[in-house]
Structure 1
């Protein structure tokens, strides 16, 4: 009930046909037009701020939205510009448009539709596993999760806990590159939407970044943790050109998690923290595999992934965390 009240405070929507005369328009700021171009009647429409982990309420409170018709969405200016939009069609398929900048383009046409993912039986952690470790992963494609090779190395069984609390089992084999410390896992059951990798502009020293993951699972709370920092250097240990040095503090369990810029695009994969017990007088030195290196690994593996340019207005760390949250999973390695 509370979520519905918040959504109603955020959005006020009126369904209107595309050909509605100008004289019939409601007063106030121009609405955002959501257009059904799927060829099928829509029974539900959802529009929420990008990064929100759920879809909120169905906005079609006056009945279905026929093909070729539009829905006028009046948005509170405080709601921001980036929205995710979803149509649920009468034949069970869905059409989704994510991260739409409704300020720059106040018309969203939904065309392609896909069948909802089939239900996958949940897995259960094995309480009798001899040795258990954990790490972090993030969704890069349909049922595909990226992480570090050392997170999955030697595991007899790998489970992923999704943002909505489900446990899903990874299907072997993993695709790995030990030299880069990268891996991909196939995890059927829709673990979340894919994050986008940044393609431009080039990452610079001093850029703000956000690391997201599950450090010290079992000791700290079960919730994911967000840490802010900066790109300190464009190379890693011994001048490794595949890594960044970052000031966003990470701990065991963060490995494999996404490193995002302030627009919510992936610029790296968290990989390691310099051990201060072995290197004296050094603190908070952390590393991430560069996003461009991770993209090259995915291409070699034949994976199609999302990309985006980061040229718009930066978001708050909280908003970036919302984007990361719906696509980041806890990985449990059982031996």
Structure 2
């Protein structure tokens, strides 16, 4: 079978071998797929890089898998040495690996023993970094309790609304992993923006990235995630889907925008994500329909607000935090998938007085 050709460059400044190359220098060698399946990836790196998990680029073209029995010729650079690690990935994800092969002695290498593909790692959930992190429990004798939502923006840092933690004597958070952890004072808060950042020692997990670009537009789909009406509804987080209705908040507030995703008491402080799972806002409030009806005679329906993501991002930066950033230019996720992203990083907040 006709073999494919490739040149392996090892290092940015290595030259190709000359025609006058002698036997002491590495020469072209041939890798043969004996796995019984077409291969979608082939890697050849100097030993011991493969043992450290550094396999370098895939030598195969995406549109040209290496068939079973097919060969692939690799031409190392002149000073690459003779010891190579090789890795072949079959189309079902299983791998065949050869380590520390002397290609100056053996120039035909068969890759045939496929190991079972490793199962995908379980999604990380925000939770304590170790069993030694002190746990907290709700104080059942607290005179007054209110609840809200928050989300992880960096290790040990949770963003929420200022009004969620205002006047609390004790703040504890229930993590997606099911552990209660205590927030340690002081918290960074801004009443005018209605934003706060809690310090939660020992809390780790995937931080939600903030959307950096493009600018948010009216009509974009958004997902609100949090813990509305705790004690009345189930204790699990809730997801609502909606759209961006307006780019400013109540009375033209430039730090907020209006959304149609329904929110209830307890949603406050939760993340508002775009359809690629990036933070575009912090859920903050809904319009008081009864109060508006008293002054206008009309009952407003489903008018809700969020603090703008760029405002929340700058607030975090002023607090000395460097949140993750992402551009939303790729493929949109399903609403359920966005919910899965939010779930791993959204926390229930209990304020005790």
State which structure, 1 or 2, has the greater radius of gyration over its C-alpha atoms.
Answer: 2
CA shift at 1:192, angstroms? 2.9
Q: Does 1:27 find its partner at 2:45?
A: no
Q: Does 1:245 find its partner at 2:245?
A: no
RMSD: 3.2
- Please, which of 320, 323, 334 is the counterpart of residue 338 of structure 2? 320
Q: Does 1:132 find its partner at 2:138?
A: no
CA shift at 1:72, angstroms? 4.5
| Closer/same/farther in 2, CA of residues 29 and 279 from structure 1, 3 Å limit | farther
Note the alpha carbon deviations across 1:17-47, whole angstroms, 9 max, x for none. xx993514562572699x99798689xxxxx
Unaligned runs of 5+ in 1: 1-18, 43-67, 77-83, 88-95, 98-115
* TM-score normalized by the length of structure 2: 0.67
CA shift at 1:167, angstroms? 0.2
| Closer/same/farther in 2, CA of residues 178 and 71 from structure 1, 3 Å limit | farther
Q: How many residues are treated as equivalent by the alignment?
A: 259
| Closer/same/farther in 2, CA of residues 227 and 302 from structure 1, 3 Å limit | same
Q: Matched residues in 1 for 2:88 and 2:184: separation?
A: 41
Q: Does 1:274 find its partner at 2:287?
A: yes
- Please, which of 227, 239, 258 is the counterpart of residue 226 of structure 1? 239
Q: Does 1:123 find its partner at 2:133?
A: no
- Please, which of 176, 179, 186 is the counterpart of residue 173 of structure 1? 186
CA shift at 1:155, angstroms? 0.4
Q: Matched residues in 2 for 1:261 and 1:303: separation?
A: 22
| 1:212 counterpart residue number | 225
Q: Does 1:145 find its partner at 2:158?
A: yes
8 A Cα contact 1:264 1:323, kept in partner: yes
Q: Matched residues in 1 for 2:352 and 2:191: separation?
A: 20
SS at match of 2:301: coil
Note the alpha carbon deviations across 1:198-224, whole angstroms, 9 max, x for none. 000100000000000000001000000
Q: Matched residues in 2 for 1:253 and 1:271: separation?
A: 10
Unaligned runs of 5+ in 2: 1-28, 55-84, 94-118, 294-298
| 1:289 counterpart residue number | 307
| Closer/same/farther in 2, CA of residues 28 and 325 from structure 1, 3 Å limit | farther
CA shift at 1:290, angstroms? 0.4
| Closer/same/farther in 2, CA of residues 188 and 75 from structure 1, 3 Å limit | farther
SS at match of 1:158: strand
